[in-house]
Amino acid sequence: MHLKEGCSLLLKLYKPSIPFVLNTNPFLNHKHPETEQNQTVLCESDVLNRLKHERDITLALEYFKYIANSKSFKQTFFTYKIMIEKLGHECEMDGVQYLLQQMKLEGLSCSEDLFISVINSYQRAGSAERALKMFYRMQDFGCKLTVKIYNHILDALLNENRFQMISPIYSNMKKDGMEPNVFTYNILLKALCKNDRVDGARKLLEEMSNKECSPDAVSYTTIISAMCKLGKVQEAKELAMKFTPIVPVYNALINGVCGESKIEEAFQLLDEMLEKGIGPNVITYTTIINTLSKVRNFELALACLAKMFVRGCSPNIHTFASLIKGFFFQGRLYEALDIWELMIREGFVPNVVVYDTLIHGLCSNNNMCEAVAVFNQMESNGCPPNVTTYSSLIDGFAKSGDLVGASETWNKMITCSCRPNVVAYTCMVDVLCRNFMFNQAYCLIENMAMENCPPNTVTFNIFIKGLCGSGRVDWALKVFNQMGKFGCLPNITTYNELLDGLFRVNNFTEAFELVREMEERVIEPNLVSYNTIISGFCCAEMPVEALQLVGKMLVRGTEPDNITLNIVINAYCKQGTVKNAVQLMDGMRAAREWRPDIIAYTSLIWGICKWTGVEEAIVYLHKMLNEGISPNVATWNVLVRGLISNMGDSVSIHFLDGILGSGFDMRV
């Protein structure tokens, strides 16, 4: 880029920008001879020293401009280099381009190191495409192509996963007669693995060996990690056996088997490391501890932590965070806090990730006072909260019904210039919906789109659930139809919430229309969908259709649960086919090791009382008691009503007298 005389370039600085004009015309700014004679000539080392130690980019630019436009000093390659690097560090790429152009005008060539610095600056700025354009113009600035420069441009493209651009650059490199080195190959391997092209990566590994460019630890670890992520753990183990494994490779394999919850294999690999004299590091142990915490095997996880200390391998922040998270997930609050205290005693300074883990755990366990205390401690310890911290607190306040706490946290987040993300917005939408502030919730959703943080399907599902739960199903349907405007598609949860809302207000026409729409869009129902629709059929007095849907559900491979069976038993009883209900209950008990619950028995007893007689209902009451299921108020109500309607029956009178005489607590 070249500026005409008298033009200026405004740099995109965080501070007020400075017009950047370098004078290259010897006839401009012609000064009086006496002034020129009195002007001090500057030494290059002094200029470099001042530019190097000036932290304020604005002042550095002022000084650079001053000496460039004066007769006191002629800019050199090194002064340009230090100023280009300073601008590049601030991602001021227009200024970098300007100075490169000025160097070209003054006949100063750009070195390999300087050009690499420019490419890295573009990478930091997230402008790999502009870096590539500069790469193609590199020879215009007197810089020759080298393998090192090729490696850096390839790495910049990989950083933004510009996979389609990487292959042509590699081809050009070979055309230019440059032999790739191990760094080149490792970049290409990462690019292939990042795009799930593991087979291509393995072929490239063979090419490396054929060209006598031995793969290093990075090469093997990259491929083995990618294979494990794709579930090809066994193939990865076979590949690892072809060379002498190192710690990173073992860590990748252990991470792979842990991802499949194969704990025994993880310990086998750990033992294999020790047998070969390869010392496991903190990543090895932390991976295993994290998996053990996820599967709730805390005794073994703590034993593994103790083994770390014994073997002189110190845990890190992530080790403790895994244990804290696991204990909280299972509701073991005190154990989680014990691990936190152990971490502090061991001298670890918590970072924002561990603080977030602790605060999220406290909020999930409805301990908001403690969560707020940790939040305040976090701030006082000089660890600024991030958007995850605020989101956890807002979500915790939402679930505990504290609108004020959630609102104050939101306002503090905005005041502290912490930009909310879609999770934080969604948590706040949830708070407002729980407090029936639907207009404010919808305004927040619209604001998300304006703030370039568009709502997602989860946001809409929470809003629709709130509307349906308060009976505002018409509004929920309108929102459902507007989701596309925000770039969102409904998922099965969206349909489930709407169906539940429509059936609750007996809007069967719209509900069944929505079911047809699901079928047309080939949206596969899940267990919740089936239970909701089966219940809706029963409410609409369509028991035959309900039972047909159960059959379809079984054919499609969806296992019914207690809710499904309770709905069907209730449907049979309402239909008057009590024998079918009894057969279903007995059949499910025998075939699936299913135990009927209080709801199933109460529905059955009601049906027997209505269609068969109280005497048989009492038989099922005894069965229920023998299975250790205590009748509740609904059960007793059903029986008493049945008995009263049959007061002339001697069995009914005898049974009622027995209940009243025994002092049985019918409120159980």
Q: Which residues of 522-560 are buried (b: 16+ CB within 10 A; e: fewer)?
A: ebebeebbbbbbbbbbbbbebbebbbebbeebeeeebeb
Contact partners, residue 442, CB within 8 Å, separation at least 6: 463, 479
The 10s digit of each residue's pLDDT in 61-104 is: 888 888 877 777 888 888 888 888 888 888 888 888 888 888 88
Distance in angstroms (rounded) separating the CA atoms of residues 138 and 316: 45
Asked if residue 439 lies in contact with residue 473, where contact means CB atoms within 8 angstroms, the answer is no
Neighbour tally for 369: CB within 10 Å: 8
Of 120, 111, 193, give the one whose Cα is nearest residue 152.
120
Q: What is the pLDDT of residue 658?
A: 53
Beta-bridged to residue 19, according to DSSP, are: 10
- The whole-number pLDDT of residue 318 equals 92
Helices (H) and strands (E) in the chain, counts: 37, 2
In this prediction the pTM is 0.69
Distance (Å, rounded) from C-alpha 327 to C-alpha 336? 5
Per residue in 530-574, pLDDT tens? 999 999 998 888 878 888 888 888 888 888 888 998 998 888 888
Whether residue 499 contacts residue 514, with contact meaning beta carbons closer than 8 Å, is answered with yes
Angle, CA of 69, 70 and 75, to the nearest 5°: 70
Residues 27/32/38/41 CA torsion (nearest 10 deg):
0
Name the burial class of residue 70, with classes exposed (0-12), middle (13-18) and buried (19+) by CB atoms within 10 angstroms of its CB.
Answer: middle
Going by their DSSP bridges, the two strands 19-20 and 9-10 should be labelled as antiparallel
DSSP 215-234: --HHHHHHHHHHHHHTT-HH
Residue 393 has what pLDDT? 95
What is the model's pLDDT at position 233? 87
pLDDT on residue 568: 87
The Cα 29–Cα 37 span in angstroms is 15
The parts of the chain modelled with pLDDT lower than 50 are 1-19, 21, 24-38, 660-668
- Cβ atoms of 219 and 187 within 8 Å: the answer is no
Cα separation, 638 vs 7, whole angstroms: 92
